[in-house]
Structure 1
């Protein structure tokens, strides 16, 4: 697999999972929230061909970005699971390492919940609804010459919650017509 300029920091994985040729799986060990948006922008400038980027984080959530003739669209599979990878919460200990109890622990839990909700709100602000994303993903598949399932099925998969988000990702790829083994 040849890596194009927008993907210089990304490398092919030795194990591409069950994705078969001509598709490839790339990995970037230090991805941040803005890396996918930057990649889509760079891809549009350097290449312009359809791109599908799915970032799986700790099997809890996934970011899905598609780029096609209608532009880039971002959504999440299990946004809260993804958010928990960004903000895992606070440790319930004081400065000396003692377990917090009572009002101090309740206050910390309240602060943690508020911060987690802010992270989730920020992610929602930077993503499309499942309806918009499902239509964009289907458009991406059709532009890529794939036989995609109806938008309703794709939307259903974007809202699915599996124990391992990878299971949802494989089902999504299959619904888009990406050949899997």
Structure 2
């Protein structure tokens, strides 16, 4: 069973529990001076990252994690300004938004014919392809994503690594998405790489 929840990184010592006292939010070690990181539990309110950025008046990056498979990064500028978002572990993200395939059985529990099973698979493949096209039109990828992340980091006073290294981290494919997020945070200059 994987992790559900979020990591938050922002330049303030204030706790997110000031705004969300009923949520589990544990501090994480390893940030550069002036920055703090928080590990949120599973139940997250809508727009929690933007709310914290606006209330605390800080830039912020949040990684909302789905079952340790995929995550959505949200980069906020100062205040409530939403700079941009992008999925991490994009193929797994696409699987989530396309929805699960269906078991190859009829309603009465008997196995489907090969023809019906093939049509069921083809329907799911079309849903995956449609989701892939939506993601490609909606989110930056590759060097474009790396460049935007570096621009965000520089604007917030961080010292990121090169666009190429940040882009490589954003496209990481670790088994657990949390490890990819820690690599991204390190390349952006927010934290040291966790062991």
Which of 74, 92, 100 is the matching residue for 2:85? 74
Q: Does 1:65 align with 2:65?
A: no
Q: Does 1:174 align with 2:183?
A: no
Gaps of 5+ in 1: none
Write out aligned runs for 1:145-164 (5 A): 145-164=157-176
Maintained 8 Å contact 1:66/1:136: no
Q: CA deviation at 1:8?
A: 7.2
Could you say which structure has the greater relative contact order, defined with CA pairs below 8 angstroms and 6 or more residues apart?
1
Q: Deviations over 1:108-162 (max 9, x none)?
A: 1011111122223333333223333222221222233322101111111222222
Which of 60, 64, 73 is the matching residue for 1:51? 60
Given the superposition, is the C-alpha separation of residues 11 and 136 from structure 1 closer, same or farther in structure 2, using an over 3 Å criterion? Answer: farther
2:136 alignment partner in structure 1: 124
Maintained 8 Å contact 1:160/1:168: yes
Which of 173, 177, 180 is the matching residue for 1:165? 177
Q: CA deviation at 1:7?
A: 6.1
Q: CA deviation at 1:83?
A: 2.1
2:25 alignment partner in structure 1: 12
Write out aligned runs for 1:19-34 (5 A): 19-20=30-31, 22-27=35-40, 29-30=42-43
Aligned residues: 175
SS at match of 2:85: strand
TM-score (norm 1): 0.77
Gaps of 5+ in 2: 1-13
The list of structure 1 runs, each at least 4 consecutive aligned residues, that deviate by more than 3 angstroms after superposition, is: 4-11, 18-22, 38-48
Q: Distance in 1 between matches of 2:126 and 2:23?
A: 34
